[in-house]
Amino acid sequence: MNVPEFFSLDIGNHSIKVAQVKREKNDTAKLLHVGAVNADLGMLEAPGDDALAKIAEQLKQAKDAAGIRTNNCVAAVPETPIFSRLLSIPKVDNTEVEEAVHWELKPLIPVPLEDVDVAFMEIGEAKKGEQTFVDMYVVAAPKVLTTRYKRLAQLAGLNLLALETESLANTRAVTFNHPTEKDILIFDFGAFSTDLIIARDGVPVFAQSISTGSDALTKAVAADYGLGMQEAEKYKRAYGIDFKLGDGKVAKSIEPIMQIIINEMSRTFTYFKERVGETGANKIYLCGEAAKLPGLSDYFTQKFGLTSILVDPVARITMDDTTRKELEQLSPVGFSVAIGLALKDA
Ligand SMILES: Nc1ncnc2c1ncn2[C@@H]1O[C@H](COP(=O)(O)OP(=O)(O)OP(=O)(O)O)[C@@H](O)[C@H]1O
Ligand SMILES: [Mg+2]
């Protein structure tokens, strides 16, 4: 399928980000437009029409500021309320695949199947004894959430072409721009939540959202040293999780919260290794604005013995000088979801 011209939409708890990319021949791409506005409402906390109308206004501002003219858009849904797993399903006729997926999915989700939108993607096959099983990446999104995005598009006068998970967008951004290994962990550090995504050969096969994000670090610094949130934010950005900076005072304060994240990462690594086997993920790709936390990469190396690198979502994307300046001001690493979505070509 050839997707018509569209822009991408990442509605975070801190900011709304938009981007438009033109895919070119020979697997190259050009960033045409990029923009962001501060936001204070995420899509999860904004159920009512009044809140959606406010978000619609903010996203129109972001779109106008970026100079985007098309009204076609593709939006990313946050990982938190999404169920996504690699399921092993007995191989059946094409006509029966949907039923087989639903059958496997049903006992795994806490809500009736009629309340979710289900999408699936075949990853590979494996023989177990006499029977062939298909590894299927299955995503179930609550209909209340997808309906909310459709309503938002309506209020903003947009034509919503598709919804994707943030993990799919992030994985596309990483694999388009970085030559990657077979299995990788993508770490999206946001304001309210942190997403852990395992991707195999460029396809997300596991995604999990932790309800601890970088704002929790700011709160810890504020509480420990009796500071206001703005001041604590400055200290967090300056010293981070680097114990050598500022006598390690900030690092000591945020370490217990980082440990919550480390524990979840360990569980994710173990689960994936047990589930899929082989060597497991052996590199960490950091994205989300909060990934700029000083010392983060070394901290992970120390905890897991793995290399981690900061995602550059435009490493392989061209753009003119004006767009480059705009993006640099906005900070590229925070645009992984928006640019990954904007790279969608099918
Ligand atoms: N230089 C920096 N160093 C450390 N943290 C930073 C820096 N700049 C921004 N942050 C943090 O990044 C977070 C915002 O990141 P981002 O814009 O990716 O979030 P979001 O997508 O809006 O939120 P969410 O994904 O939770 O909905 C805030 O918690 C902010 O404190
Ligand atoms: Mg985000």
The single residue listed with the structure tokens 């936001």 is 39
CATH class entry, domain 7-80+143-178+312-342: alpha beta
Asked whether residue 39 carries a pLDDT value surpassing 80, the answer given is yes
16 CA distance to ligand 2 middle (Å): 9
**Statement: the pTM of the whole predicted model exceeds 0.85:** yes
* Of 274 and 90, the one with more pLDDT: 90
Give alpha helix (H) positions in the chain: 49-66, 97-105, 143-155, 166-177, 214-225, 229-239, 249-276, 296-304, 321-330, 336-342
The single residue listed with the structure tokens 């590979």 is 124
Which pLDDT belongs to residue 251?
A: 98
Task: Name the band, by pLDDT with cuts 50, 70 and 90, for residue 301.
Answer: very high
290 CA distance to ligand 2 middle (Å): 9
Using the 8-state DSSP alphabet, how is residue 2 labeled?
Answer: P
Q: Ligand 1: which residues within 6 Å by Cβ?
A: 12-15, 42, 190-193, 213-215, 218, 233, 236-237, 288-290, 292-293, 334
Q: What is the mean pLDDT of residues 185-207?
A: 92
The pLDDT mean for the chain works out to: 93
Give the whole-number percent of the chain exceeding pLDDT 90.
77
Q: What is the mean pLDDT of residues 221-241?
A: 98
Which pLDDT belongs to residue 278?
A: 67
* Nearest ligand to the CA atom of 334: 1
Using CA positions, which residue lies closest to atom 14 of ligand 1?
191
Which pLDDT belongs to residue 186?
A: 97
**C-beta of residue 240 within 8 angstroms of C-beta of residue 173:** no
CA dihedral 147, 175, 271, 269 (to 10 degrees): -130
Which pLDDT belongs to residue 282?
A: 85
* Of 110 and 239, the one with more pLDDT: 239
Residue 313's nearest CA partner among 284, 296, 338, 345 is 338
Task: Name the band, by pLDDT with cuts 50, 70 and 90, for residue 46.
Answer: low
Q: Region of 91 please: left (phi>0), alpha (psi -120 to 50) or beta.
A: beta
Residue 165's nearest CA partner among 117, 237, 222 is 117
325 CA distance to ligand 1 middle (Å): 20
132 CA distance to ligand 2 middle (Å): 38
Q: What is the mean pLDDT of residues 219-239?
A: 98
Length of the chain: 346
Task: Name the band, by pLDDT with cuts 50, 70 and 90, for residue 346.
Answer: confident
Residue 73's nearest CA partner among 153, 13, 16, 17 is 153
pLDDT per residue as tens digits for the range 255-269: 999 999 999 999 999
Write out the residues surrounding ion ligand 2, Cβ under 5 A: 12, 190
What is the atom index within ligand 1 of the atom nearest the CA of 290?
A: 12
112 CA distance to ligand 1 middle (Å): 34
**C-beta of residue 303 within 8 angstroms of C-beta of residue 207:** no
Domains 83-141 and 210-308 share a fold: no
**C-beta of residue 211 within 8 angstroms of C-beta of residue 193:** yes
Which pLDDT belongs to residue 18?
A: 97
Task: Name the band, by pLDDT with cuts 50, 70 and 90, for residue 44.
Answer: confident
Task: Please give the structure tokens belonging to residue 265.
Answer: 């990462």
* Nearest ligand to the CA atom of 39: 1
Fold of domain 210-308: Nucleotidyltransferase; domain 5 (3.30.420)
Residue of 10, 11, 14 best suited for mutating to test ligand 1, as the one with most atoms within 8 Å of CB? 14
Which pLDDT belongs to residue 337?
A: 97
190 CA distance to ligand 2 middle (Å): 5
* Domain range summary for the chain, segments of one domain joined by +: 7-80+143-178+312-342, 83-141, 210-308
Q: What is the mean pLDDT of residues 9-36?
A: 94
CATH of range 83-141; options 3.30.1490.300, 3.40.250.10, 1.20.120.1730, 3.30.1300.10: 3.30.1490.300
Asked whether residue 151 carries a pLDDT value surpassing 90, the answer given is yes
76 CA distance to ligand 1 middle (Å): 17
* Nearest ligand to the CA atom of 219: 1
Which pLDDT belongs to residue 2?
A: 67
Residue of 289, 292, 297, 341 best suited for mutating to test ligand 1, as the one with most atoms within 8 Å of CB? 289
Which pLDDT belongs to residue 273?
A: 81
